[in-house]
Amino acid sequence: MNAQKNNNPGHPQRAAGAFFGRRIAKPLKRSQVKLFEELLPRLKLDLSNPAPADLRQLFTHKTDEIILEIGFGGGEHLVQRAVEKPASGYIGCEPFINGMGKILSAIDKNNLTNICLHDEDATPLLDWLPTASIDRVVLLYPDPWPKKRHWKRRFVNRNNLTQIARILKPGSEFHFASDIEHYVNWTLKHCRDSGLFDWQAQNSSDWKTPWALWQSTRYEKKALREDRVPAYLTFKRM
């Protein structure tokens, strides 16, 4: 389960993008260490084998849609969605070890069976997923890499957007949220320039209002405390 080699000749694996910073902030709790040893291997995607053509095979129950959340942080949004919509299948990606520890605890507490996990960089996962296999991609409060010399590490770039568009079903949506105005404008420009996405906003309230059944994240709460205004962007795969 731990191998990360991609043997799918149709989607050769790119080098990891290092779009994240540190891997761990503080030692895990003893209970979290146990979940890493016992629960994560059961939920972790095995990228050493080709992905199933139908991703619903990843889940043990009937699944009506597949949602990918990239960089789920502490997992608050992902877990809430999974609890509210048990018939949906969720794939969560997060390389930050403490964030993975938090979501494993929440999955265990709520006895969730509709979440699969990837605990490394997202680029190999995007390359591994089949074409037109995902119903929604969610990217919430990614690291903004504010210094210009670090902009190349922003997750929103031409290559990643191309892969996101590839794995999304036509007409499906890419959701992006950030409290950093420059990154919001960056994302709007890159999605426009890609020619693959159609921004769905009709007026300002469309990007100022969260999506239905929104579960705020700890990053968003911090932004609001510091008087930064979040933007919620919805792009449709053309």
Catalytic residue list: 143
Distance CA 220, CA 140 (A): 9
* Residue 184 to residue 164: CA distance in whole angstroms: 17
Q: Find out whether 118 and 93 touch, Cβ atoms under 8 Å.
A: yes
d(CA 151, CA 15): 18
C-alpha gyration radius of the chain? 17
Is residue 49 classed as helix, strand or coil in its secondary structure?
A: coil
b/e code 34-64 from CB counts within 10 Å (16+ = b): ebbeebbeebbbebeeebeeebeebbeeebe
Query: Which residue type, as a one-letter code, is found at position 152?
Result: K
Reference 143, options 7, 23, 54, 225; nearest CA is 23
Helix, strand or coil, per DSSP, at residue 39: coil
Please report, in angstroms and rounded to a whole number, the separation of the first and last CA atoms in the chain.
Answer: 35
Angstrom CA distances, 183 to 140, 156, 173, 192, 197, stand at: 12, 9, 19, 14, 17
